């Protein structure tokens, strides 16, 4: 009976285990992770940080028993062909899936700097954020505005240092609206946070300045590492039987992706690789962010290339169109638009840019065209 050992139990690793069982895999499945159970990270910076009652578990404990998935609360230290080991145990493994995620970068400052990635990080910030606390948040991606939103909700005095409009590559022109909203809610300083700032005015600093792939378990194993574990389009490494998914990996000749949806999608692809089955056409990349009252979502690519057209639908939605094919969409507080765009892109439904722009035409109506 084959053995699959998954190193890491966040959304990517857990999704492999769930996907294998859903596909009828009869071999053993083991997840090795230092946490007590599989946790979902996106709520950490929003609901969980502000004290809302939110269940972070990706599945109840009974799921692991019912699906014969073994959860080992430990840290994998290394592997070789056919085996994985921790400090105290060794596991036979016909298939090894590296899903160790990433670790946050920090800032070299004389003041203590908090980072944010894990449940422990969120708990540490919950203990210190509160009314009257002055906090500096540094970062130019999605995390900094989300943390700023939560910190303000907790009563803190927030200053965000960002050298650019956050997440322009994700939300396109709509990122400017998000930036304007953030600037109305908290102090925004349009530069990097460095030692030259008056840091004494802050009670604490949070670094939201990106992540590094957590490749330590793959070092000295023969696996190719270059800004992540390098994989092919099937998420196979250069070693037979070893795969890498989620934030820790990078498809050769492509930039690394570090977001939730890539973890889920790469896990689904590895399940097909292990099972020897052909996947359906992949869904377009989906990213979302909750910040300062806005539900920002994007699907596909929203930065048009030279031959493509940018289409506006009111003030809160944009589309990128190539001929009659939809390439991507972004929207603020318009979930139905993102759902419709996902359907249109994944099914290759032809679109008329004028109809996309016409707010009098239901976006759902456009999904029914063939």
Domains 3-103+211-275 and 301-366 share a fold: no
Domain boundaries 106-207, CATH class? alpha beta
pLDDT of res. 276: 94
pLDDT, tens digit (0-9, with 9 covering 90-100), for 271-282: 999 999 998 878
pLDDT, tens digit (0-9, with 9 covering 90-100), for 220-262: 999 999 999 999 999 999 999 999 999 999 999 999 988 889 9
**Nearest-angstrom CA–CA distance, 275 and 29:** 13
Report the length, in residues, of the chain.
370
Q: Tell me the domain boundaries of the chain.
A: 3-103+211-275, 106-207, 301-366
pLDDT of res. 370: 54
pTM score of the predicted model? 0.93
Digitized pLDDT (tens) for each residue of the chain, 370 residues in all: 799 999 999 999 999 999 999 999 999 999 999 999 999 988 999 999 998 888 999 999 999 999 999 999 999 999 999 999 999 999 999 999 999 999 999 999 988 899 999 999 999 999 999 999 999 999 999 999 999 999 999 999 999 999 999 999 999 999 999 999 999 999 999 999 999 999 999 999 999 999 999 999 999 999 999 999 999 999 999 999 999 999 999 999 999 988 889 999 999 999 999 999 998 878 899 999 999 999 999 999 999 999 999 999 999 999 999 999 999 999 999 999 999 999 999 999 999 999 999 999 999 999 886 5
User: Beta strand 102-104 with 211-213: parallel, antiparallel or unpaired?
Assistant: antiparallel
38 contacts 128 by C-beta, under 8 angstroms: no
pLDDT of res. 282: 80
Q: Across the beta sheet with 28-33, what order do the strands follow?
A: 69-73, 28-33, 3-7, 95-98, 242-244
pLDDT of res. 280: 83
Secondary structure element (H or E) that encloses residue 334, with its range: none
pLDDT of res. 110: 86
Evaluate whether the domain defined by 301-366 bears CATH number 3.40.50.1980.
Answer: no
For residue 49, what are its two tokens? 């940080």
**Up-side HSE of residue 268: CA atoms within 13 Å toward CB?**
12
Evaluate whether the domain defined by 3-103+211-275 bears CATH number 3.50.50.60.
Answer: yes
Read off the DSSP letter of residue 236: B
**Nearest-angstrom CA–CA distance, 102 and 85:** 20
């Amino acid at each position: 009976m084959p053995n699959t050992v998954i190193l890491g139990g966040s959304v990517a690793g857990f999704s492999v285990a769930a996907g294998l069982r859903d596909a009828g895999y009869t071999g053993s499945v083991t997840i090795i992770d230092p946490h007590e159970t599989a946790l979902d990270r996106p709520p950490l910076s929003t609901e969980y940080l502000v004290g809302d009652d939110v269940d972070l578990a990706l599945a109840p404990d009974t799921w692991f028993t019912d699906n014969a998935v073994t959860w080992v609360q430990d840290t994998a230290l290394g592997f070789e062909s056919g085996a994985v080991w921790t400090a105290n145990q060794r596991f036979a493994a016909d298939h090894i899936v590296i899903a160790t995620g990433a670790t946050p970068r920090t800032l070299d400052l004389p003041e203590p700097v908090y980072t944010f990635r894990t449940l422990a990080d969120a708990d540490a910030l919950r203990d210190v954020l509160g009314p009257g606390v002055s906090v500096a948040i540094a970062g130019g991606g999605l995390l900094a505005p989300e943390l700023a939103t939560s910190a303000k909700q907790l009563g803190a005095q927030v200053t965000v240092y960002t050298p650019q409009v956050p997440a322009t590559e994700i939300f396109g022109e709509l990122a400017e609206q998000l930036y304007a909203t953030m600037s109305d809610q908290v102090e925004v300083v349009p530069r990097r946070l460095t030692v030259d700032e008056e840091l004494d005015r802050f009670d604490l600093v949070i670094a939201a300045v990106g992540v590094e792939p957590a490749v330590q378990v793959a070092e000295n194993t023969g696996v190719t590492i270059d800004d992540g574990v390098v994989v092919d389009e099937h998420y196979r490494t250069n070693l037979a039987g070893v795969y890498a998914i989620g934030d820790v990996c990078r498809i050769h000749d492509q930039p690394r992706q570090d977001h939730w949806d890539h973890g889920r999608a790469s896990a689904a692809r590895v399940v097909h690789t292990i099972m020897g089955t052909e996947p359906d056409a992949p869904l377009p990349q989906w990213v979302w962010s909750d910040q300062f009252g806005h539900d920002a979502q994007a699907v596909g690519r929203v930065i048009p290339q030279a031959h493509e057209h940018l289409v506006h639908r009111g003030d809160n939605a944009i589309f990128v169109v190539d001929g009659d094919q939809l390439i991507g969409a972004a929207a603020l507080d318009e979930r139905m638009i993102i759902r419709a765009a996902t359907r249109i892109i994944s099914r290759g439904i032809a679109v008329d840019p004028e109809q996309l722009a016409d707010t009098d035409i239901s976006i759902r109506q456009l999904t029914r065209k063939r």
